[in-house]
A and B are shown apart, each in its own frame.
Chain A
């Protein structure tokens, strides 16, 4: 069990040492050290994940354990979801580092140092079992992310995007800190298991609800749930593409994971009577996020903003899954996180390859530039199909688990939202892919004009280094593998049960008992309705893509009227995404107020 602290310590020591010898370092050494440290972390995380099959384990820092029911030290509580998410983060970090291998503008060793620190923050956050310790790792991850998002300092938007990102997320962390102060004031504890026992023993009054609301709101800012989401598109649009890969595949999901963790292992015992009300609030919030994200996704011309809004849409889907508060929903959300994490990462990797060649990110400028990149086109297509949740992709099984859960709890109408999300995001991705790689759509290849976004100064390379294709292909195959590898979906179901079992969590942490092992359920086969829904979604995606690519060939009056109605309908939504920090913070405050209000109504 000594592996647990090493997952965090190895990247930290590597980062410190890289900076200590910064002056005498050349780029190759920095990259090798960073890659080696990340691979070590991957190894440790996989070891931890393998051990969680026989039950979650607790690691106490500093040799301080518990004393008469008080948790004295800080604990890492490693269960399957935590270790799994940590593994996902470190694997995606490897992909990002490999993709970045040939970029000229990385300023060694600062870029590699920031990436290692980002990794340490994410991994520690997933494994921690102490509320304040989670906050500290969360801040490490955030500060590294702010610096990485603004890394391309020679672009105007990078500064603005990073500022919006930093200010909104910092306010989110103040919300979390206020929630922690409230919890500490009531329970006198920071360890999650001890908090759970103390809250359950006391009255479940306004303070408990407000504390949970503030903590959830702070984590929702990071996860980019509507209306806390405005910063995400700006940050993704300007960050270097390999960094976006990490943001989309790992960072956004951590917010949802955190809310799940603090609910099941912190507040669930105290607020157990209000589970139904919470379910409604979370599912409604998830649906809203999914719809706003998908609609904005379809309207985007800028590849990275398109993928950013797709990320927001899927965060909504994850929230729907978590919000079900049942093993179907939680397992579905987990499978979706992994499968979709790989899928989005593959899309970002493909976008990175195209951008490496052409330095533009708007579809207008990139049309048909992908023609010389067939492999990348295939990767893109696989990513888009993953969005469409077609079998045998992992996302198909995730979606069917969610649909099962929704119909069981009486929220069948939300299935329509899931289908719409798949259709719109996959349609947007297919349209982008068709335009870039097949040259479809309005207008031919654009003439050479001024760039909107330049990422490097030298002439574009004629050939993409082979090393960039490897992560893209592997990520796309991983998205496929989640659905194909036998027994994986069932393992997720067992892990979900373990995640939701707050009382055994508390027992393992506070009394040192042995945790129950994970029991994989019986083989999962998706019901026929899932195939039907998936087909509807895929059909919707094809219609959306075709309408956008070939709409200009329709009879002019009809298409013009249709597009004018469409523009009119979405103009207010687009206007809200103004890029102005004051707007974003105003919506954030309103979001907190609304979340609090809905908790007050639903949870009292």
Chain B
């Protein structure tokens, strides 16, 4: 049971990669990339969890309570922003690809070879 969150993270990474490799549509490919992203979120948050801990917001709890790690929350926040922006950029490229190639299928964009 204690290994389950880590296993979920690993599974997400692998299944996302599978989606990317077998993708036939660029939008699908970008979404698979975001599946791989979410594996990193799950892993980071799972690593910092403490059993019985609550959120490290001291507005209404006393100072000595058991809290989860605030650093992984910061890391995940940064990670979310960074990867969301990469997705935005990739989707802009997808729009351009559709404009130029008329298709979204990576198999049919044969402009670069050798």
Contact = CB atoms under 8 A, between A and B. Distances in A.
B96 A178 contact: no
A184 B75 CA distance: 11
A150 B96 contact: yes
B22 interface: yes
A174 B39 contact: yes
Contact of A178 (B13, B22, B90, B107): B13
Contact of A577 (B13, B89, B110, B114): B114
Contacts, number: 115
A147 B89 contact: yes
A453 to B, nearest CB: 10
A237 B109 CA distance: 16
Interface string A225-237: 0000000011001
Interface stretch (A411-419, A441-449, A495-503, A580-588): A580-588
Contacts of A136: 78, 82
A132 B74 CA distance: 11
A181 interface: yes
Given A157-B112, A167-B33, A237-B112, A174 B40 contact: yes
Contact of B101 (A156, A162, A577): A156
Contact of A181 (B37, B40, B83, B110): B40
B112 A181 contact: no
B66 interface: no
Residue of A146, A156, A237 with highest tally of chain B CB at under 10 A: A156
A246 B17 CA distance: 30
Contacts of A185: 47
A110 B89 CA distance: 14
A166 B89 contact: yes
Contacts of A190: 71
Contacts of A178: 13, 39-40, 43
Nearest to A177: B40
A589 interface: yes
Contacts of B114: 299-300, 305, 574, 577
Contact of A163 (B22, B26, B36, B82): B26
Interface residues of A, number: 45
Contacts of B72: 184
Contact of B20 (A139, A150, A238, A582): A582
A159 interface: yes
Given A157-B111, A177-B79, A190-B71, A143 B86 contact: yes
Contacts of B107: 580
A182 to B, nearest CB: 8
B93 interface: yes
Contacts of A139: 82, 86
Contacts of B82: 136, 139, 143
A174 B101 CA distance: 29
Interface string B27-40: 00100010011011
Contact of B47 (A167, A174, A184, A237): A184
Q: Binding site of A, secondary structure by majority: helix, strand, loop or mixed?
A: helix
B54 interface: no
B89 to A, nearest CB: 6
A43 interface: no
A170 B94 CA distance: 16
Interface in A174-191: 174, 177-178, 180-181, 184-185, 190
A238 B97 CA distance: 14
Contacts of B83: 170
B4 interface: no
Contacts of A180: 75
Nearest to A587: B21
A160 B112 contact: yes
Contact of B75 (A132, A171, A234, A238): A132
Contacts of B109: 156, 160, 579-580
B106 A582 contact: yes
A166 B85 CA distance: 12
B113 interface: yes
B63 interface: no
A585 B101 contact: no
Interface in A325-346: none
A121 B82 CA distance: 13
Contacts of B94: 163
B100 A143 contact: no
A525 interface: no
A153 interface: yes
A423 to B, nearest CB: 22
User: Which one of B29, B85, B93, B111 has the highest number of Cβ atoms from chain A below 10 Å of its Cβ?
Assistant: B93
Contact of A174 (B21, B37, B96, B100): B37
A323 interface: no
A578 interface: yes
Nearest to B47: A185
A586 B22 CA distance: 9
Given A136-B78, A181-B40, A150 B100 contact: no
A386 to B, nearest CB: 26
Nearest to A583: B21
A574 B40 CA distance: 34
The winner among A159, A162, A233 for most chain B CB atoms within 10 A is A159
Contacts of B97: 159-160, 163
A161 interface: yes
Interface in A269-295: none
A163 B17 contact: no
A539 B88 CA distance: 50
Nearest to A142: B86
A269 B29 CA distance: 40
Interface of A: 132, 136, 139, 143, 146-147, 150, 153, 156-157, 159-164, 166-167, 170-171, 174, 177-178, 180-181, 184-185, 190, 233-234, 237-238, 299-300, 305, 574, 577-582, 585-586, 589
15 contacts: A139-B82, A146-B86, A156-B111, A160-B109, A167-B29, A170-B90, A171-B20, A174-B37, A178-B40, A184-B44, A184-B71, A233-B112, A234-B112, A582-B22, A586-B21
Q: Which 5 A-B pairs have the closest CB atoms?
A: A579-B112, A185-B47, A157-B111, A177-B40, A181-B43
Given A174-B37, A174-B40, A238-B112, 7 more contacts: A139-B82, A146-B86, A166-B86, A184-B75, A580-B106, A581-B106, A585-B17
